[in-house]
Amino acid sequence: MTGDPSVTAGDIARIAGVGRATVSNWRRRHESFPRPVGGTAASPLFSLADVEGWLERSGKPFEVSLGDRLWQRLRAADDDFRLADLVGWAGLRLLETRGGVATDPATDPATDPATEPAMAPGEAALKVSRPDVDPSAADPELPRMLDGLAAERGHRDAFTFLFERYIAAHSRRLDVTRGDVARLMTRLVCREGDIVLDPACGLGTLLLAVPGARLALGQESDPAAARIAAVRLLLAGTPAEIVAADSLRGDGFCGEVVDAAVCHPPFGDRAWGHEELTGDPRWEYGLPPRGEPELAWVQHCLTHVRPGGRAAVLMPSAVAGRRPGRRIRGNLLRAGALRAVVTLAPGGPDLWLLHRPGPGEPPPARVLLLDVDGDLDRVAREWDRHADGADGEFAVPVVDLLDDEVDVSPSRHRPRHSGPAFGRRFADAVERLAAAAPEPPRVELLPEQRPLPFTTISELARAGVLTIVHAPTRLPAGGGVPVLTADDITAGTGPSGAAAADPGLIPLREGDVVATAAGSARVVDGESAASGAVLGPYLTLYRPDGARLDPHFLAGFLTFAHTRTGTGSSRMDLRRMRIPRLSPDRQREYGRAFAELLQLTATLREMSTLGDALVRLSFDGLVDGHLRPRR
């Protein structure tokens, strides 16, 4: 795909400031809408020039930012399967123009050794090879546009913009560690000033999550991914050394000892080198069976960790119980190397927490086996209690696991309680579920329908009743300014993000209404406003004139509008949403009713969670003999 830049329907929606459903309507209703120039029936591509021309002729406002224009032209410079190389090229140029790295075209792209000095203060030397593609040859304007984006956003944020576009374009092909899982893994095993290794670093997500690493060592078999990881780490100011090679077949850090290791290995890779690595000295706990490649990665990590060091490895749930791996699991338990197995979500993955035993160090008597059902915050709490020596209900004696199966699946070892302890827990679960019973909203049925006059969000904005502000897609990192994020809106929590001070930040005021693209909305309270919080990425701020538009009334309509359109939680164009014309007093009455609906929604979610817990507890009680069916 070379030549004219092309865009997806999602790109068009972003350029025109509308929802994707609006773009679909344009395609269906307007014969003059540009025809696809590529892609598939499910994901067509359109000429950017044709789309811009149609929007201009149709009188529809649009804005193609420098970043979007650069991204589309970068994609058009070569075939799409070379996109990672194109992004890597852009990253290397940003490093060079920032004055942060020297690249060596003669370096073998299969090895990417890290040796070059002259880095910015606090960064390790790193020599990275150039990809064998130069998009500036096809589009000489690309370097100038890239320099312009760096001047506009800063070098790091410029590359982050391109990287996020790359992830969005290839989301179905890339197995990227979730950000919350990456932060959890590094929080559990990494300390400030550690040397940390990730032997399957991919795009560098885990190493970027390490707090205050003295040195980040990464290895990745895909040279394009390794190059992107190196650029991300160096632009973030993380001292790093990245090697492009297969860690199991060609260990780029042979003999290197680190404080901690983190790893999200490729799952189910049967061609990991079983035959050629049969006598490898890394298999201290047993030769990994051909069908158990993840156990090879576990032992690779332990080989590099110093005595007393730590490792966190993400694993498929099946590895905890498959028969071929029982010998290695048993040896890990006997040696005290396996300290915890945590199932992070239904169906997995599991997180294995490991420890490199020191000379003469006695193995622990218990191992933590925990199923958190998606509640990642619970992992750190339970692990800290277990590490402090508390014999909690999820600490399973190692001797109980060393049977014929050596199954360390948390689901197989749910805690068993004494009669009184189970009784207290069961009674508490029943009581909490009963106490959570919701109250219906305080509304009354009218004898006949009374239709309301309606307007739209856009009309209110044109009349000056409210102001609409869209957040920047990226905020400057590294500061202490609190940021209200999309996750905070959904969860109903306070500002959890942070950003560096910048004139482009949008401060929040009490009474502002903040909404996500999917329609969840909330009113900014005095505490959030007083904290100096700012608007987070991908959020929209609606600032109403309080004398004419009640914020709770507006937030209710923004939140529940999808229930009338039948779009579920999909994105919708909220500016075209119809909203009743009511007096301020009537608006406040509706606002109170909407607040009750929000409380009802939260209560039903809580009841669902409590109900699931009661079902599991009841089943365990019936099977274990604590309960029996009523006669």
- Cα–Cα distance between 495 and 482 in angstroms, integer? 6
Whether omega before 503 lies within 30 degrees of 0, making that bond cis, reads no
> How much is the pLDDT for 574?
63
User: Nearest-5° angle of CA 401, CA 181, CA 126?
Assistant: 115
Domain boundaries, the chain: 265-411, 454-581
Is 621 in contact with 627 (CB distance < 8 Å)? yes
What's phi and psi for 601, nearest 5 deg?
-60, -45
- Cα–Cα distance between 174 and 168 in angstroms, integer? 10
> How much is the pLDDT for 101?
52
> What CATH number labels 454-581?
3.90.220.20
161 Cβ partners below 8 Å, 6+ apart? 67, 71, 149, 153, 473, 474
Parallel, antiparallel or unpaired: strands 539-544 and 395-397: unpaired
265-411 with 454-581: one CATH topology?
no
Is 560 in contact with 598 (CB distance < 8 Å)? no
Selection from 368, 328, 335 nearest residue 352 by Cα: 368
Question: Residue 462: CA atoms inside 13 Å, Cβ hemisphere, count?
Answer: 7
Place of tokens 């119980």: 321
**Chain centroid offset of residue 308 CA:** 30
Q: Which residues pair with 216 in a beta bridge?
A: 196, 240
Is 218 in contact with 381 (CB distance < 8 Å)? no
Query: Which 3-state string (H, E, C) describes 492-538?
Result: CCCCCEEECCCCCCCECCCCCEEEECCCCEEECCHHHHHCCCEECCC
Beta-carbon neighbour count of residue 225 at 10 Å?
A: 20
- Cα–Cα distance between 228 and 262 in angstroms, integer? 18
Q: Where are the alpha helices (DSSP H) in 287-375?
A: 293-304, 326-335
Query: CA Rg, the chain, in Å?
Result: 28
The SS3 assignment for 310 reads strand
Is 473 in contact with 536 (CB distance < 8 Å)? no
Structure tokens at 277: 């690595």
Q: Which residues pair with 82 in a beta bridge?
A: none
Place of tokens 């990994």: 288
Structure tokens at 587: 């608006």
Structure tokens at 325: 């791996």
> What CATH number labels 265-411?
3.40.50.150
- Cα–Cα distance between 26 and 11 in angstroms, integer? 14
Tens digit of each residue's pLDDT (9 = 90 or more) over 107-132: 333 334 333 333 443 344 445 577 88
Place of tokens 């893994």: 185
Is 468 in contact with 457 (CB distance < 8 Å)? yes
> How much is the pLDDT for 573?
59
- Cα–Cα distance between 85 and 93 in angstroms, integer? 12
301 Cβ partners below 8 Å, 6+ apart? 197, 199, 261, 263, 311, 313, 354
Q: Which residues pair with 6 in a beta bridge?
A: 47
Side by side, which strands form the sheet with 240-244? 240-244, 215-220, 195-198, 258-263, 305-315, 350-355, 338-343, 366-371, 395-397
Greatest CA separation for the chain: 84
Extract the residue ranges of the chain whose pLDDT is less than 50: 1-2, 102-126, 565-571
User: How many residues are there in the chain?
Assistant: 631
